[in-house]
Amino acid sequence: MATLNNRPRFALTGHAGNQLELTAQAGCRIEVFVLADDIIRVLVLPDGELHGPRTWAIAPGMEDVPLEGRDRRDMSGFGETPYTVSASAERLVVQTACIRLTINLDGGFCAWDVLQDGIWRRVLNDRRTQAYNFGWWDSRVYHYVERQRGEMYVGLGERAGSLDRANQHYEMRNIDAMGYSARTTDPLYKHIPFYVTWQPETSTGFGLFYDTLADCHFDMGRELDNYHGLYRHFIAEHGDLDYYFIASPGTPMSAVRRFTWLTGRPAWMPKWGLGYSGSTMSYTDAPDAQHRMGEFIDRCREHDILCDSFHLSSGYTSIGKKRYVFNWNHDKFPDIDGFVDGYLQHGVRLCANIKPCLLHDHPAFDDVQKAGLLVSDRDGDPAWVQFWDEVGAYLDFTNPATIDWWKARVKESLLRHGIAATWNDNNEFEIWTPNAIAHGFGKPYPAHQVKVLQTQLMMRASRDAQREHAPGKRPFLVSRSGGVGMHRYVQTWSGDNSTSWETLRFNLKMGLGLAMSGVSNSGHDIGGFSGPAPEPELFARWVAFGIFLPRFSIHSWNDDGSVNEPWMYPDLTRQIAGLIKLRYRLIPYLYELLWQSHRDYEPALRPMFAEFPHDPRCLVDGDDMMLGASLLVAPVVEPGQDAREVYLPAGSRWVAYWSGDAFDGGAFVRLPAPFDEPVMLIREGGVIPLNMAEQHFARPADERAFIVVPFDGAGIARGGCIEDDGESEAWRSGEQGRWNVSIESSADELVLVIDRVGRMPREQSLVQVLIPGGETRPVTCADMDLAADETTAGWRRITVRFPSKSQ
């Protein structure tokens, strides 16, 4: 029976295992899935039927999903969760150890409570003046919820503007936004319909993930309608309302970890992917491209610029002025194998650009079309799209035959020559016509409804090609576009940014938004990709920021034809080379953070408020970030500055990296910020693993050392880092070791413990531990000899010697 406003009246009609079903006489159905103490899923079906395709997003703790997707009612990966159900004539209550969901049977409205410190706190209500679309409006999917004043919203992947999404409107539709404004442009390259709501007054939060491939919109309070009170809403162009509520009491980080777990284990990539990656459009566009590429190696050697890889732009595929994926221009590259081998001899791997669209005059176009591998219209003709300066058609990765064709081309055209990785680019799949049809693994559906799926399957096919070619090596690949689950496959970056100070400031926030959406392995085009060449000061500040990100690549397509390179400004080359060496010194820490992301789903980059949610000053949208839990990074994002004011969160002491000076938290400090000494501070109790070996181009060296900031009073500072060969899959069978370092503080002494466990890739008998120079307590070592204890440059350097194996 319908009630007021023709709302459907629900009743509990099914209850088995972790699933409940509510139905109404009008044919509406709501399904509730209790997935964990802190995760409950709600599926709203206005006509009782699923309309969307399978899911490629849900992979709880897994490395992947079936190629053809996962059935939306597949509960594998979720354990049994105790919960209770109680019902009355008016409502149904589902309760776990952490969540209480109350469903009003008149209309199906949901109310969510989260248990924190023994108290149930109401964190979310559906909007009572219409929350869902039960066929009242159109065929789109709607979800309206009430909005509380003072709430913060963080996530939605890669967005322009402030980190806090409150009072803004966003469109999620992957698009090639070259030269975008990092402050205002929307939409951008990625499709991640997840965000965290944080309520500072109660220190309670939750995450909402909408499992959809559809183009969608999020209004976070920008829209206002007097008839409905304060609200925010989600709208998808098609499909189903299928959303996951993730409780996050006490810290917003819990929702991020659980969402990352829910959508799959982040890829464990080779260590060389953390090194500097050279790149520029101009080298491969030049008629003597192979020679120009050789000059890059010469200049790295000349200026002692450390480098692990180079991103080979698409000019290598050119015929005339156009680009044809998997084609090699033999005039530009007369000796492909010699070219690749020359780079490898210097320890520099190549990551080749590949694109998913074949231009109409591509040499393989006719054969690919006849084989049915392209996205086509309803008559079987290619679904033509604009691609760069031509017309072409996208490959259809929902067709297994296309995937096989793609993998074969990746192996034959690239990997067999020694190319190490693929750069999956221009893969937004901008298909707008409703007449284009995707194969759909045998169940065709409109191609414009699964654009982001094509992106995901493209990167998966590229990864699988690497696995098939070299099963013993970890794949490394990069993708510009992507969606939920992309972290299972790729490293990414924020696309074709513009050259400006504003971009530097807001790209920082963009990277934090990605990390809070489950994607930690990211970076930006250092210096800016599109527009004028960066002025010297801006370039130096870009590099000084970029060295802290998991992806570090200097890449450009400057309007004046110039190239962003480490040596582009001779007066700065020494400082740039030094910054890159600083990056290499920090790689053990970055490698450990990506291991924590893979193993424990921890975000590598963290907004200040997420790490310190109880400090009101950290709620301000600033220009600082935490790199892991232990290192505060404060880049200079304005011109003409020689110092940087930094707020140090309360509750900890902080130690400046360059001076060793200690500062109490809960206050602002002003620190010098020359170009080659970016401001960074280590948190009390933190451990930062370092590579202290002297390194030079093409002569890698590794010597582990650790910065440790002991507690001023009693406490234990502890941390460490993962160790393996950095490249192979041997870690899966236990070929991996770990350093564990701790310093226990008391009033009278510091007790240092260094433990090596598992299989270490190299022997090291002496280890340096740096503690602040102002620390005067004596150090004692457990099971090690104290070889030296000296103070220099603000740091007290403790050198310990491990007993020899014969002992």
* 8 A C-beta contact, residue 278 and residue 303: no
805 pLDDT band, cuts 50/70/90, is low
Flag whether 663 is in a domain. yes
* C-alpha to C-alpha distance for 724 and 685, rounded to whole angstroms: 25
Whether 5 has a pLDDT exceeding 70, the answer reads no
pLDDT grade, residue 389 (50/70/90)?
A: confident
- Entry pTM: 0.97
- Whether 523 and 511 have beta carbons less than 8 Å apart is answered as yes
DSSP three-state, residue 21: strand
For residue 97, name the pLDDT band (cuts at 50, 70, 90). very high
Count of structural domains within the chain? 2
> Under DSSP, is residue 411 helix (H, G, I), strand (E, B) or coil?
helix
pLDDT tens digits, 396-406:
999 999 999 99
Per the domain annotation, does 568 fall within a domain? Answer: no
Judge whether 168 lies within some domain: yes
What number of other Cβ atoms are within 10 A of residue 200's Cβ? 16
Burial class (CB in 10 A: 0-12, 13-18, 19+), 41: buried
Whole-number mean pLDDT of the chain? 96
Name the domain boundary from 262, 295, 324. 262
User: Which residue, 244, 262, 280, sits at the end of a domain?
Assistant: 262
| pLDDT at residue number 734 | 94
Contact 749, 286 (CB under 8 A): no
Look at residue 21 and tell me if it is in a domain: yes
528 φψ region: left (φ > 0), alpha (ψ -120 to 50), beta (else): left
331: Cα separation from own chain's centroid: 38
In a domain, 10, yes or no: yes
Give the rounded percent of residues in the chain with a pLDDT score beyond 90: 95
Task: For residues 659-671, give the mean pLDDT.
Answer: 98
pLDDT tens digits, 244-296: 999 999 999 999 999 999 999 999 999 999 999 999 899 999 999 999 999 99
- pLDDT for 61-94, tens place per residue? 999 999 999 999 999 999 999 999 999 999 999 9
| Strand residues in 709-749 grouped as ranges (E) | 715-723, 737-745
Q: Compute the distance between CA of residue 683 and CA of residue 665 in angstroms, rounded to an integer.
A: 9
Q: Report d(CA 677, CA 691) in Å as an integer.
A: 17
Please give the average per-residue pLDDT across 184-201, as a whole number: 98
pLDDT bracket for residue 803 (50, 70, 90): confident
CATH code (residue 42)? 2.60.40.1760
Q: What is the enclosing helix (H) or strand (E) of 378?
A: none
Q: In the predicted model, what is the mean pLDDT of residues 638-650?
A: 98
State how far the Cα of 416 lies from the Cα of 436, in Å rounded to an integer.
35
Contacts of 502 (CB under 8 A, 6+ apart): 181, 182, 183
Residue range of the domain that includes 709:
601-807
Question: CA-CA distance, 313 to 91, in Å (whole number)?
Answer: 59
Is there a contact between 106 and 6 (Cβ–Cβ < 8 Å)?
no
pLDDT (tens digit per residue) in 732-768? 999 999 999 999 999 999 999 999 999 999 999 999 9
CATH number, residue 627: 2.60.40.1180
Q: How many CA atoms does the CB half-sphere of 692 hold within 13 Å?
A: 15
Quickly state the pLDDT bin for 1 (edges 50, 70, 90). very low
Burial of 296 (0-12, 13-18, 19+ CB in 10 A): buried
Q: Is 438 left (phi over 0), alpha (psi -120 to 50) or beta?
A: beta
Task: State the maximum Cα–Cα separation within the chain, in Å, rounded to a whole number.
Answer: 84
Q: Is residue 531 part of a domain?
A: no
Q: At CA 368, angle to CA 363 and CA 374, rounded to 5?
A: 120
Q: Is residue 475 part of a domain?
A: no
Question: 454-494 pLDDT, tens per residue?
Answer: 999 999 999 999 999 999 999 999 999 999 999 999 999 99
- Residue 136: pLDDT above 90? no
Residue 650 included in any domain: yes
The last residue of a domain, from among 262, 279, 314: 262
